[in-house]
Chain A
């Protein structure tokens, strides 16, 4: 009982720590310095999210040598090899939240954004977006992907 109550409490406070898409603070250089959840990212989970076509689908546009076991890497964006030597954690988090500050009018989607769209849909259904449109990646997903990107130190 006591244990269950403690876990329940921990989960609640965890929820409360999640920064909502509208509340993210971005520096003028497009960095997000504060973790979106306060929970350290899990690089293994981040890797899975990057590959999944229904989630990050990052490989649609990016080549990543560490993910060579996955077929079909796109050429629309730059290779992410060595990306952790070019950007620090805050900058990578900022690029995922919304790359437009760093790359204006970028083709790269903003993964942690829920408003300001033209004719947003409900996923890939062609129906209009629901009122409570969720960001393309959840807060912890972003942290996990950032953690994986931080492992990409080699060219």
Chain B
């Protein structure tokens, strides 16, 4: 019956991007998941050889085209102050620790912020951008992909204690809630059935270390919240809104389930 079936999955392979960035695709779980998982796996492990290979070289990774667009926007002035991101942050590389540590508590705003929220903050509060990027817009995904790409190889380490603890607990509650007419929780599929085929797809552990992710199905990069939305829709459920406090909390919680894996975005998935 239901259970973890890693029979068809080849574990133990390593991913090295461009022959230099070493990616941890399987490792010991964070302390709060000991007893749930013996090993946590990147979604990369569950994909076909072809899909895996696309991620190993930037020339083969279609997600990198969006990173390039993000880089162009990074260096382009926007808003009434005449600043570009580069005015204050010089190069994207100065933001290389961001992806591994977000979502993160923001003292000034008294809330947990995702990378997208932080970008919006800089646009609206520091650049005078009248029409900031939509949370799930192409421009936002490009910028988020740029910020992920410069953090590749860093170990995911989001803080779940202190002021973030309450948000994290909400995320945990959402993770284990059975949604929709099919009454399925994230855990039903990604904790209790990873490795198993659901129709033609091998279920992964539903990690977010590869986001924004290039999805072959969409022929574009997709955001974390877009993926959450799709997974709840597939339960015949009504998803929370993209950018909602519920999805921010869920993102923090799910990201923390990957503490110990590497930043991979933009990853390649089907």
Query: Dominant SS at the A interface?
Result: loop
A77 contacts the other chain (CB 8 A): yes
Given A74-B196, A119-B232, 17 further pairs, Cβ under 8 A: A72-B197, A75-B5, A75-B196, A75-B198, A76-B197, A76-B198, A78-B1, A107-B184, A107-B189, A107-B192, A118-B179, A119-B237, A121-B233, A121-B235, A121-B238, A124-B234, A128-B238
Nearest A residue to B232 via CB reads: A119
**A42-67 toward B: CB 8 Å interface, digit per residue (1/0)?**
00000000000100010111000000
Residues of B contacting A126 in the complex (Cβ-Cβ under 8 angstroms): 229, 233, 238-239
Nearest B residue to A106 via CB reads: B2
Within 8 A of B (CB), among A2-38: none
Check if B180 sits within 8 Å of A60, measured CB to CB. Answer: no
Query: Dominant SS at the B interface?
Result: loop
Nearest A residue to B5 via CB reads: A75
A133 contacts the other chain (CB 8 A): yes
Residues of A contacting B181 in the complex (Cβ-Cβ under 8 angstroms): 109, 117, 120-121, 129, 133, 136
Nearest A residue to B178 via CB reads: A118
Check if B233 sits within 8 Å of A124, measured CB to CB. Answer: yes
Q: How large is the interface on B (under 10, 10 to 19, 20 to 34, 35 or more residues)?
A: 20 to 34
- Please report the C-alpha to C-alpha distance between residue A77 and residue B188 in the assembled complex, in whole angstroms: 12
Residues of B contacting A106 in the complex (Cβ-Cβ under 8 angstroms): 2
Taking a contact as CB atoms closer than 8 A, the residue among B1, B184, B233, B238 that contacts A109 in the complex is B184
25 A-B pairs (CB sep. < 8 Å)? A53-B199, A72-B197, A72-B200, A73-B197, A74-B196, A75-B197, A76-B2, A106-B2, A107-B184, A107-B193, A109-B182, A117-B181, A119-B239, A120-B181, A120-B237, A121-B180, A121-B181, A121-B235, A121-B236, A122-B238, A126-B229, A126-B238, A126-B239, A133-B181, A136-B182
